[in-house]
Amino acid sequence: MSSIEKEIERRRTFAIISHPDAGKTTLTEKFLLYGGAINTAGSVKGKANSKYAVSDWMDIEKERGISVTSSVLQFDYNGYCINILDTPGHQDFSEDTYRTLMAADSAVMVIDASKGVEAQTIKLFKVCTMRHIPIFTFINKMDREARDSFDLLDDIETVLGIRTCPMNWPIGSGKRFKGIYDRESSQVSMFQTVAPGGAKSAEETDYDVTDSAFKSKVGDELYNQLIEEVELLDGASDELDLEKVGRGELSPVFFGSALTNFGVEAFLKYFLKMTSSPLPRKSNEGTINPMTEDFSAFVFKIQANMNKSHRDRIAFMRICSGKFDADKEVYHVRSKRKLRLSQPQQLMAQDRKVLKEAYAGDVIGVFDPALFSIGDTICMPGQKFEYEGIPTFAPEHFCRLVQLNSMKRKQFMKGVTEIAQEGAIQLFQDYQLGMSEIIAGVVGTLQFDVLKYRLENEYGCEVRLETLPYGYIRWVKDVTTDLNSLKRLNDVKKVKDMKGNPLLLFNNEWIINMVLDNNEGLELEEFRKN
């Protein structure tokens, strides 16, 4: 095995997904603690006097205590090089999560033990299953009152349609939570709670399940319950089948508590053994083997103003094959240009380290001189393949952007354009008034708050957002169509995208059908053209 293959083999790249408040960011930080990447876990409560989650770098995230952008975190643990793609949990930022999942080889699904499968978990899970990537489940918050463990498994199987294989089993929950039983070793780990953000790991004592000392510590009731439940699991639950796991048909399940470290390191060790090194990727010229020496990557995220002092713009690239060498030229397929990737960096949220090399599975950030777009393929000169595209979602909410200080028009246009290029919002202009009336479209309304906050704090532009009463957008298939010639558009907004393509905004589906009925030959498209 070559040195390049050895480096790629030890890489693990995964995304963490969950419904808001299920404990995803806390679990991420505990992984970083075990890897020595940070010394103290941050609080995600968003209080002014508290430490912030290391993965939340944007000011609005710190103020609100929520993640609104995807963070990239890399660290070493037990010989593995781990790339975590931490995603926003809030549904209003789901488009950023969808794109980030395209860069992951597997996913860790965090579920709140008191709530089970929640709405946002379902949406994110569907994206994972579309890509057929392995999904590992961490049922969190067992130190609080929880639903019955068998009910939680049934919830996952019924709602998400994936079989489960419990790798460990909780002993009690809430105040009676005593620890975790490992089904493979028949060992029980008893844990002592530590304060959040304190020690690197909780103190723990391991017992064989037959040890009388363990039985006396948990008491007869919990001991007998554990034995009965384990017998039931052994007879009724699915066996571990790594081929099914690899196809996304079976999810290994782990119980624990991220806040108090119950079961976190055990989960991490099992996960690293069961998940794979970087997977092959589909392109328009067939499947690309990650172990090939030739470097290739695709852009899955663009973020402006990560460093306030430099006002820079970073393109996040997932390396899909080979070794990246900062001294060598690469080929940008869309622009048909050879270039050197400027200032390649390893990211730890807002912290950066300049690097000279990286390997398949890694995520690097490079300075973007407004060249890159989401979905772009970068490969070696002489190659011209492109990786499969990243889906774009039609916005469902719209507002008019009103600039309050006309003297700052240049900053305003720069701000809205750069934020739109990140993919968080989509920009449109009035069909007749052009750029003098700019309309923003988003998937979730909280994006409007982020847009206003960033325009004011990063670009110094005061704006007023005027909500528009539209919920549906349709592209006009024939781009030469004169929208002013169409009939029955009284309750329809005529706009153009930033490339000049004509679109229509509608209040409801009934009006869409009415416009089609009254304009023979008109064809409308629901999805955005690339």
- pLDDT at residue 78 above 50? yes
pLDDT band at residue 308 under the 50/70/90 scheme: low
Q: Where does the chain hold its CATH 3.40.50.300 domain(s)?
A: 12-71+81-177+237-274
Q: Tell me, what's the pLDDT at 530?
A: 47
pLDDT band at residue 469 under the 50/70/90 scheme: very high
Domain 281-379, CATH? 2.40.30.10
pTM of structure = 0.76
Task: Tell me, letter by letter, the H, E, C secondary structure of 317-345.
Answer: EEEEECEEECCCCEEECCCCEEECCCCCE
Q: In this predicted model, what pLDDT tens digit does every residue of 224-239 receive, in sequence order?
A: 999 999 999 999 899 9
CB contact at 8 A, 144 and 115: no
Q: Which amino acid is at 127?
A: V
Closest residue by Cα to residue 240 from 132, 164, 307: 164
186 Rama sector, left if φ>0, alpha if ψ -120 to 50, beta otherwise: left
Q: Tell me, what's the pLDDT at 123?
A: 73
Number of H helices, E strands in the chain: 12, 31
Q: Where does the chain hold its CATH 2.40.30.10 domain(s)?
A: 281-379
- pLDDT at residue 83 above 70? yes
Token pair, residue 492, equals 């329809």
- Top-confidence residue, 400 or 126: 400
Q: In this predicted model, what pLDDT tens digit does every residue of 379-418 receive, in sequence order?
A: 999 998 999 877 666 788 999 999 999 899 999 998 898 8
Percentage, residues of the chain above pLDDT 70: 85
Q: Where does the chain hold its CATH 3.30.70.3280 domain(s)?
A: 397-525
Average pLDDT for 487-493: 92
Q: How far apart are CA 295 and CA 288, in angstroms?
A: 11
- From first CA to last CA, the distance across the chain in angstroms is 40
Average pLDDT for 367-373: 85
Q: Tell me, what's the pLDDT at 107?
A: 93
Q: Tell me, what's the pLDDT at 351?
A: 66
- pLDDT at residue 529 above 70? no
Domain topology for 397-525: Alpha-Beta Plaits (3.30.70)
- pLDDT at residue 191 above 70? no
Q: How far apart are CA 168 and CA 279, in angstroms?
A: 27
In CATH, which of 2.60.40.1120, 3.30.830.10, 3.40.50.300, 3.90.1150.10 is domain 12-71+81-177+237-274?
A: 3.40.50.300
Average pLDDT for 94-111: 83
Token pair, residue 111, equals 């579920």
Q: Tell me, what's the pLDDT at 54?
A: 53
Any residues with CB less than 8 A from the CB of 520 and at least 6 apart, and which? none
Q: Tell me, what's the pLDDT at 290?
A: 97
Q: How far apart are CA 301 and CA 96, in angstroms?
A: 8
What's the mean pLDDT when you consider all of the chain? 85
Q: Tell me, what's the pLDDT at 46?
A: 36
Average pLDDT for 58-68: 48
CA distances from 191 to 23, 92, 113, 168 (A): 19, 37, 18, 14
Total number of residues shown for the chain: 530
Q: In this predicted model, what pLDDT tens digit does every residue of 330-353 receive, in sequence order?
A: 999 999 999 999 888 876 645 678
CB contact at 8 A, 324 and 364: yes
